[in-house]
Chains A and B, each alone.
Chain A
Amino acid sequence: GAGVSQSPSNKVTEKGKDVELRCDPISGHTALYWYRQSLGQGLEFLIYFQGNSAPDKSGLPSDRFSAERTGGSVSTLTIQRTQQEDSAVYLCASSLGDFSYNEQFFGPGTRLTVL
């Protein structure tokens, strides 16, 4: 079956521009997560959605970062006024529920490069 998909796979942008990253979770998965993988910081949690609401936004690094989820499905991560330190691979994951035993399935990621 279809896994988690993310688009674009690569994004190069200039410092100061806004970018939108998209995640399509596995159909029927109610929980959706965004993580960031960078050389300096490793794999970091950004935000978690249950349905359309985000009960945990604790990992968002600044107010330039925001995310939304509509229809309990697709999610968009928006970074405003990008900075070079935002360069990273942004990973999306989804799971059937948010119990500790529910496996999180990861997408291939979006590689963001801020020039």
Chain B
Amino acid sequence: GNSVTQMEGPVTLSEEAFLTINCTYTATGYPSLFWYVQYPGEGLQLLLKATKADDKGSNKGFEATYRKETTSFHLEKGSVQVSDSAVYFCALRDTDKLIFGTGTRLQVFP
């Protein structure tokens, strides 16, 4: 079946460092791909998405490119802030439902 694998955390960075969180998927066809973020004490929010190969999703300085050759959707940000500290989930759309990765906790220190 379809699945998502993302790097384990926690990822600990200093403010203004470069961030990469790896995500790879296994799927039949070309599903839509998503990154969701869960800030402390808050619900899941959509961060960005890409619906077809080579699409780049972007939001709040975060980017991810849908790579069908490597079945990947890595999340990147050039300069993280303390306020980016959260848990990040990679997900794919499998017909009607989302299939999530295990989540990666990001901690950014000043």
* Residues of A in contact, count (CB < 8 Å): 25
Q: A56-B95, A59-B97, A107-B43 are in contact. Are A100 and B103 (CB under 8 A)?
A: no
State which residues 24-61 of A face B: CB under 8 Å. Answer: 31, 33, 35, 42-45, 48, 50, 55-56, 59
A55 with B96: CB separation less than 8 A: yes
Interface size class of B (residues with CB under 8 A): 20 to 34
Which chain A residue lies CB-closest to B51? A101
Main SS at interface, chain A: strand
Q: Interface code B72-83, partner A: CB below 8 Å = 1, 0 otherwise?
A: 000000000000
Find the residue from A4, A100, A104, A109 having the highest chain B CB count within 10 A.
Answer: A100
B43 with A103: CB separation less than 8 A: no
- Provide the bound-state CA to CA distance between A101 and B57, in Å: 13
Which chain A residue lies CB-closest to B31? A100
Interface residues of A (CB under 8 A from B): 4, 31, 33, 35, 42-45, 48, 50, 55-56, 59, 91, 93, 98, 100-101, 103-109
